[in-house]
């Protein structure tokens, strides 16, 4: 048979099949683009498991109208200039292939408007053929619509599973993105029903939501330039071991990570989420068409870092056993060898704290004499603050503590009234935020929000409630968290729901674990925390501190008295 050159439309469609395997791959690529564009809110809507329609909308940077045709062209990207850039890649996309691949196997439209433009633009492509383009009124950001996926690749269409199976895969993709970018809000709507809604929060919160776990243990481990964050959930005893691994924000399957974990033996049973962060130059991300695999330059270091993190997380698990108050004998040294999960204590010594783990119920500072002298000793490597109070050693999570303090202050301030503050600059609302604002309009006005709506346009925000402590929260975030509170279970009083949401919004921007605070600040935090009504937990129920009682310390070292 004669050898012929295939027409480009055919080669392109064949190549597209490698990148776009099913509806979930479309959603993955579109979400990656939205996150690369710095979106803070992303909505995914699908019909019939994504086979009929997929719409992904974001409030990110947008695409300039004149660049729109390039965005859907093959090998056109804003993320890579020359081959060396591959060594420095910090975006999720880099090949300039995704949109053109999707457009070659579907009926496809992109609408986009960067903030700098008053008018947006659209482009339509069907099966790789240009259909039309023009200007369009559209909110800031990008909206991509993909209809009739694989309409021109019938063989591939046949391989798709049922709508519900495809939908489950898409849900997984959305949730995995939310795990990597917990601060971003995600909404996933399937056939008109909201399936997954994440209003933004911390990694712990998203993992609790996705894994249905309240007892998650987190450890971080650094080995040279490699940082590993490992989370372990053990809510389902006897279950299989499930591992979700991410490398530099990408969900990947990578044998090193799994083998480092499995090398620890059957003890590891449970859900694991492992996030590896390493210099871009040390990973090759360009080895799989859907970017689902990576290769490490120095897999030994990665192995050790994952191994170390997982080992520490296992030690954490053992500690959990002692969470129930023990008989007065306290700590038993049998089966010892536990290492505390925080690898270094910055002060006062480098000494191993060893197996010292106990939570006797009466040992919480809520009940401790306030007269005992408190000293700030330093930070452990993950940013927890270390204090001594009398003979006790106390670790404080500054983030949770700060959230508790702010929550109590807000509750107190709300007893009076809801003062309103006019915004110097009006803020135009995104469509989803505008919809929420519309739904709760009257309550929001009562709470001190102000809106202005010109005929036919999206409303703008003109005023927000004003409380000390909320200065760092953007007007949109304040509105978003208020709507979330209004949407919440009405069994709880509104001021509690509001204070909780607002305190977490304010704490996102404020002090985080890992920030270095000075001694004065640390002591102020301590005193403010223990003046609150519920110093033991943050408003979401996470512990604010861990106390290692002086008597338990003595017992551990076999000292008398």
Ligand X SMILES: Nc1ncnc2c1ncn2[C@@H]1O[C@H](COP(=O)(O)OP(=O)(O)OP(=O)(O)O)[C@@H](O)[C@H]1O
Residues that bind Mg ion (CB under 5 A): 33, 93, 98
Assess 95 for contact with ligand X (CB under 6 A). yes
Q: What is the CA radius of gyration of the chain?
A: 26
Q: What is the closest distance, in whole angstroms, from the C-beta atom of residue 151 to ligand X in the complex? A: 20
Assess 106 for contact with ligand X (CB under 6 A). no
Q: CA 213 to CA 174: how far, in whole Å?
A: 18
Assess 94 for contact with ligand X (CB under 6 A). yes
Binding partner of 319, given Mg ion, ligand X, none, CB within 5-8 angstroms per partner class:
none
User: How far are the Cα atoms of 317, 336, 356, 357, 397 from residue 322, in angstroms, in the given order?
Assistant: 9, 13, 11, 7, 20
Name which of 478, 475, 481, 447 is nearest 462 in CA terms.
475
Decide whether 97 or 363 has the Cβ nearer to Mg ion.
97
Decide whether 93 or 308 has the Cβ nearer to ligand X.
93
Assess 133 for contact with ligand X (CB under 6 A). no
Q: What is the closest distance, in whole angstroms, from the C-beta atom of residue 44 to Mg ion in the complex? A: 15
When binding is defined by CB under 6 A, the residue of 26, 44, 55, 61 that contacts ligand X is 61
**Sequence-distant (≥ 6) Cβ neighbours of residue 220 within 8 angstroms:** 227, 228, 229, 230, 309, 381, 382
Decide whether 77 or 138 has the Cβ nearer to ligand X.
77
Cis bond upstream, residue 121 (ω within 30): no
Residue 243, strand partner residues = 272
Assess 71 for contact with ligand X (CB under 6 A). yes
* HSE value, Cβ hemisphere, 13 Å, CA-based, for 97: 19
Residue number, nearest CB to ligand X: 93
Assess 63 for contact with ligand X (CB under 6 A). yes
When binding is defined by CB under 6 A, the residue of 96, 360, 390, 450 that contacts ligand X is 96
Decide whether 390 or 431 has the Cβ nearer to ligand X.
431
Q: What is the closest distance, in whole angstroms, from the C-beta atom of residue 300 to ligand X in the complex? A: 28
Q: How many residues bind ligand X (CB under 6 A)?
A: 23
Residue 461, strand partner residues = 427, 451
Assess 181 for contact with ligand X (CB under 6 A). no
**Sequence-distant (≥ 6) Cβ neighbours of residue 321 within 8 angstroms:** none
Decide whether 58 or 363 has the Cβ nearer to ligand X.
58
When binding is defined by CB under 6 A, the residue of 21, 58, 199, 319 that contacts ligand X is 58
Structure tokens at 90: 């910090």
Cβ neighbours around 266 below 10 Å, total: 7
Q: What is the closest distance, in whole angstroms, from the C-beta atom of residue 69 to ligand X in the complex? A: 11
Decide whether 112 or 482 has the Cβ nearer to ligand X.
112
With beta carbons less than 8 A apart as the criterion, state whether 459 and 437 touch.
yes
Residue 547, strand partner residues = 394
Assess 500 for contact with ligand X (CB under 6 A). no
Q: Which helix (H) or strand (E) holds 395?
A: strand 392-396
Using CB under 6 A, list all residues that contact ligand X. 29, 32-34, 37, 58, 60-63, 71, 77-79, 93-100, 142
């Amino acid at each position: 048979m004669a050898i012929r050159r295939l027409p480009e439309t055919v080669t392109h469609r064949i190549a597209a099949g490698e990148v776009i395997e099913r509806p979930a791959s479309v959603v993955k690529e579109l979400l990656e683009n939205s996150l690369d564009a710095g979106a803070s809110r992303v909505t995914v809507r699908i019909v019939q498991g994504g086979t009929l329609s997929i719409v992904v909308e974001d409030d990110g940077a947008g695409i300039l109208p004149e660049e729109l045709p390039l965005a859907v062209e093959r090998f056109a990207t804003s993320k890579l200039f020359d081959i060396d850039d591959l060594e420095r890649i910090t975006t999720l996309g880099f090949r300039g292939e995704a949109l053109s691949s999707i457009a070659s196997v579907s009926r496809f439209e992109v609408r986009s408007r960067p903030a700098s433009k008053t008018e947006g633009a659209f482009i339509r492509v069907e099966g790789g053929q240009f259909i039309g383009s023009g200007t369009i009124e559209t909110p800031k950001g990008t909206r991509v619509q993909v209809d009739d996926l694989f309409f021109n690749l019938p063989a591939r269409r046949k391989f798709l599973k049922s709508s519900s199976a495809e939908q489950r895969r898409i849900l997984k993709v959305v949730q995995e993105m939310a795990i990597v970018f917990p601060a971003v809000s995600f909404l996933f709507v399937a056939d008109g029903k909201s399936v997954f809604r994440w209003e933004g929060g911390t990694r712990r919160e998203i993992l609790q939501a996705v894994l249905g776990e309240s007892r998650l243990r987190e450890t971080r481990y650094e080995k040279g330039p490699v940082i590993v964050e490992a989370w372990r959930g053990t809510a389902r005893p006897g279950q299989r071991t499930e591992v979700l691994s991410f490398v530099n924000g990408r969900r990947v399957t990578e044998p090193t990570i799994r083998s480092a974990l499995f090398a620890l033996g059957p003890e590891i049973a449970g859900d694991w989420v492992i996030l590896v962060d390493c210099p871009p130059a040390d990973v090759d991300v360009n080895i799989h068409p859907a970017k689902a695999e990576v290769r490490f330059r120095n897999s030994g270091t990665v192995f050790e870092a994952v191994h170390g993190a997982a080992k520490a997380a296992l030690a954490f698990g053992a500690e959990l056993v002692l969470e129930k108050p023990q008989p007065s004998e306290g700590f038993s040294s049998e089966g010892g060898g536990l290492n505390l999960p925080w690898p270094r204590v910055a002060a006062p010594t480098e000494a191993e704290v060893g197996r010292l783990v106990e939570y006797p119920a009466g040992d919480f500072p809520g009940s401790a004499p306030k007269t005992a002298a408190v000293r700030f000793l330093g930070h452990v490597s993950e940013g927890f603050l270390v204090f001594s109070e009398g003979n006790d050693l106390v670790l404080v999570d500054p983030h949770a503590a700060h959230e508790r303090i702010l929550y109590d202050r807000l509750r107190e301030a709300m007893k009076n009234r809801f003062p309103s503050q006019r915004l110097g600059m009006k803020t135009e609302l995104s469509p989803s935020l505008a919809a929420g604002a519309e739904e709760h309009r009257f309550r929001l006005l009562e709470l001190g929000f102000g809106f202005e709506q010109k005929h036919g346009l999206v409303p703008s925000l003109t005023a927000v409630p004003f409380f000390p402590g909320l200065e760092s929260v953007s007007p949109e975030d304040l509105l978003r968290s208020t709507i979330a509170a209004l949407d919440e279970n009405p069994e709880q009083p509104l001021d509690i729901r509001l204070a909780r949401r607002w305190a977490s919004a304010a704490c996102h921007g404020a002090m985080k674990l890992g920030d270095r605070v000075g001694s004065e600040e640390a002591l102020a935090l301590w005193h403010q925390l223990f003046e609150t009504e519920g110093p033991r937990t943050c408003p979401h129920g996470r512990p604010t501190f861990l106390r290692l009682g002086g008597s338990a310390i003595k017992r551990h070292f076999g000292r008398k008295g």
